[in-house]
Structure 1
Amino acid sequence: MITQPTLDFLAELKANNNREWFEANRPRYEQASADFFDTVAQFIQSLASFDSDIAEVMPDPKSCIMRIYRDVRFSKDKTPYKTGLFAYVSKGGRKGPLAGYYLHLEPGNSFAGGGLYMPEAPVLARTREAIETGFDEWDAIVTAPELLAAFPDGVLPSGALKRAPKGYDETSPAIEWLRYKRYYTQRFFEDGEVLDERFVEQLGNCCRAVMPMVAFLNKAIESDTP
C-alpha cells in the first residue's frame, strides 16, 4: 500500500527537482517505487477479477509503470524528474493503442480512471464509427448510474471539435460524442484516501464501473486490426 513516506518523498522532489537532491535521496525513491509497485500489482489483481482481458494477459506491474525520468529533449521545462508516479494497465500494454485503466499518484493531486487517451487518428476514426453505429449501446454505457456514481463528471473529452468530424452529419444523435478527441474518466483522491488500506479496493470499484466503456472502445479499436 501507499505510505506517508512515499507521499513525503514526492512532495519534497517537487520542491527539489534536481539530480543532486535525487541522488542523495535515492534510497527514499527506491522505497517509494516499491510501495507503488506493490499497489499496482494489487490494482492489476483487482482489475483481473472483473476484466477478463486483463485476467488473460496478467501484465507485469513493472511493464505498466512509467519511468520517473522526464524526456527533456524537446521541452522548455528541463527539470529532470516527474513529480508523480503513473501506471497504465491495458491488455495491449502500456504503449499500445488500446483503452485501459490508469493510476496517477501525486500528493494533493492523485487520480485514477479508465478509457482512451490521446489515440492516433486511425484509432480515433474506428472509435467514432463504433459510437455512431452502436450509439444505443454507447449511450447506455456512458449514462449508466454505476459509471456516474464512480465518476460524477462522466466521460471526458480533453478537447473536442467545434464541428462534426469529416464524414459525419451534424444531425447525428451521437454528434456530441463524435466531436470528442479522447474518451476517459477521471476521479481524484485525497491523500487520506490514498493512504487508506482500502485504497486498492476503492480503485477496483471505480474501474469496475468504467469496464464496459473500456470493453466497447477496445472492441472498436480491434475491429479493423489485421
Structure 2
Amino acid sequence: MNFKNQIDFLRELQKNNNKEWMDANRKRYKEIRDDFIAWLDRMNVQLAEIDDGYYDTPGKKGINRINNNLMFHPNKPIYKDHFGAGLDKRPNTGDFYIEIGIERCMYAGGLWRPDPRRLRSIREAIDYNGEELEKILNKKSFQRTFGGLWEDVKLSNAPKGFSNDHPYIHLLRNKTFAVAKEFPTEEIFAMDFEQKVISVYQEMLPFRRYLNEAVTV
C-alpha cells in the first residue's frame, strides 16, 4: 500500500473539495481506493489468522464511502479528509474500524449509540456480569491503549429497570460503548505499521467480543 499517494490525494482533495475537482481526478481516486482495498484484503487475511471468530470482511465490503452524508450533516464539506473501513464486520455488531487521514489516524471499535434493543441487551449483560467488562476496561494495557470508554452522552440517572445503587451504575448510564485510539499519520509509513494494527486489534478483541455476544445472544 502506497500510503503517501493516499495522503497526498487527501490533502489535494481538501484544498479542492468540490465535485468538479473529484470528477477530473476520478481515475486517480479509483486507483488509490483500489490500492486501499487491496491492503484491507491483506489485513482481512491476517486478522482471520489470529481470531477464530473473525467474520470475513473483504476490502470492498469494509471500506466506507468518501462522501460525507450531507442529508444529516449539511454543513460538512462534500468529501471526507480520510479513508475509513470496518473489518470483522459481522452484521448488527461492532466492527474493528481503522481510519487513515491527514489530520489524524484512528483505530476504534464497539457500538456508537446503539438502538434501544441492543442498548438494553448490553445493559442486561452488564447487570448479569459487569465484573467481566470492568476487568477488560481496567486492564493496564487496555488503559494505555484506549484510556477507557469513549466519552459520550450519559443518563443522569439509572436507566429504567435498574437502581442508582447498582454496583455498575457508572457503566449502565452510558449510551455509547466504544473505544478509540488516535495516532499520528506518520505511523502509517513505519515498517511495523501492520503489526501495530494487529496488536491494537488483539487488545480490543475481548471488549468487542463482550459487546457482540451481548447483542447477538
- Label 1:137 to 1:73 Cα distance change in 2 as closer, same or farther (>3 A): closer
Q: Which residue of 2 aligns with 1:115?
A: 110
- Per the alignment, residue 215 of structure 2 pairs with 221
Question: Separation in 2 of the partners of 1:134 and 1:68?
Answer: 39
Three-state SS of the structure 2 residue aligned to 1:104 is: strand
C-alpha distance 163-217 of structure 1, shift in aligned 2 (>3 A): same
Aligned residue in 2 for 1:36? 36
Deviation at 1:2, TM superposition (A): 4.4
Aligned twin of 1:20: 20
Correspondence for 1:88: 86
Q: CA deviation at 1:74?
A: 4.4
Aligned residue number for residue 73 of structure 1: 71
Q: Which amino acid aligns with 2:120?
A: A
Contact 1:98–1:218, Cα closer than 8 Å, also in 2: yes
Extract unaligned runs of 5+ from structure 1.
Answer: none
Q: For residues 1-226 of structure 1, what are the structure 2 equivalents within 5 Å?
A: 1-54=1-54, 57-77=55-75, 79-92=77-90, 96-151=91-146, 153-223=147-217
CA distance in 1, matches of 2:131, 2:48: 27
**Inter-CA distance 51–155: structure 2 relative to 1 (3 Å threshold):** farther
Alpha-carbon distance between aligned partners in 1 of 2:115 and 2:187, rounded to the nearest angstrom: 34
Q: Match for 1:85: what amino acid?
A: F
Residues 6-30 of structure 1: CA deviation (Å, up to 9, x unaligned): 1011112112110111122223312
The number of equivalent residue pairs is: 217
Displacement of 1:165: 1.0
Cα-to-partner distance string for 1:41-85 (whole Å, 9 max, x where unaligned)? 23222322332221xx42221101111123323442263322211
Same amino acid, percent of matched pairs: 29
Evaluate the alpha carbon distance shift between residue 215 and residue 205 of structure 1 in structure 2; reply closer, same or farther with a 3 A threshold: same
Contact 1:157 1:183 in 2 (8 A): no
Q: Secondary structure at the match of 2:50?
A: coil
Q: Per-residue deviation at 1:212?
A: 0.5
- Length-normalised TM-score, structure 2: 0.92
Corresponding letter in the other structure for 1:175: I
Q: Quote the offset at 1:157 in angstroms.
A: 3.9
Higher relative contact order (CA 8 A, sep 6+): 1
Point out 4+ residue stretches in structure 1 off by more than 4 angstroms: none
Q: What CA RMSD, in Å, does the superposition of the two structures yield over aligned residues?
A: 1.7
Distance in 2 separating the partners of 1:185 and 1:74 = 24
